Amino acid sequence: MNKAQVVDFFSRLAAENPHPETELESVNDYTLLVAVVLSAQATDAGVNKATRRLFADVDTPEKMVALGEEGLKQHIKTIGLFNTKAKNVIALSEALVRDHGGQVPADRDALEALPGVGRKTANVVMNVAFGAETFAVDTHLFRLGNRTGLARGKTPLAVELKLEKAVPQPFRLHAHHWLILHGRYVCKARTPECWRCVVADLCAFKPKTPAPRDRKAPSGAA
């Protein structure tokens, strides 16, 4: 896509959803961090179901350390890889208490130094909690970057770096949420619903998925 097409692309997504938000539920920066760690290879809905009762009682790293690994497992046992995730959440909570006064740091390197926190998780926390213009490349962003031609790359980092260069203001703050939600609900992995995509005519993906007989494509889409 050229620069004008990128602006048009995000303008259309923004018009549909002016104030996109993460679908992970949290009550503060700390619970956001925990929720993002738990969401690896799991759905946001599944994480939310497991953490609602947990976060009602455990909303600080000190409380999480007091709960302990076995106690945490009882809350998150419906989430995939819960044993490893419980271990990481307790370890990162201990690190926050020990090294950061119980506060979530607003720094990518400091976040990535925490157990169980990779670049994607750090980018989500920086964006949602601290308003940083970061691009958290999950499976949806990786797919959309390559499928649409917006930011092609062989690795998540390559796609992230291309998004850094390609996405202009005023779209940078919310760009990764627009892309995640678009990938989750429209540009799906197996069968993208091109017939209801507002940016279909800007997208490099061929062939487009045709509309069902009883549906019409939205205006502005191919």
What is the per-residue pLDDT for 23?
94
Give the Cβ contact number of residue 107 at 10 Å. 14
Rg value, the chain, Cα:
19
Dihedral sign of CA atoms 52, 108, 173, 41 in order:
negative
Q: Tens digits of per-residue pLDDT, 110-146?
A: 999 999 999 999 999 999 999 999 999 999 999 999 9
- Architecture of the structural domain at 29-130: Orthogonal Bundle (1.10)
Annotated binding-site residue? 194: yes
DSSP-derived letter for residue 45 is H
Query: Are the beta carbons of 204 and 148 closer than 8 angstroms?
Result: yes
DSSP 135-168: ----HHHHHHHHHHSSS--SSHHHHHHHHHHHPP
CATH of domain 3-19+136-202: 1.10.1670.10
Annotated binding-site residue? 203: yes
Annotated binding-site residue? 197: yes
Q: Tens digits of per-residue pLDDT, 137-189?
A: 999 999 999 999 999 999 999 999 999 999 999 999 999 999 999 999 999 99
Q: Which amino acid type is present at position 222?
A: A
Q: Which amino acid type is present at position 97?
A: V
What is the per-residue pLDDT for 177?
95
Nearest Cα to 203, choosing from 4, 9, 73? 9
Entry pTM: 0.88
Domain parsing of the chain, residue ranges:
3-19+136-202, 29-130
Q: What is the mean pLDDT of residues 203-211?
A: 85
* C-alpha–C-alpha distance, residues 36 and 50, integer Å: 13
Catalytic residues: 120, 138
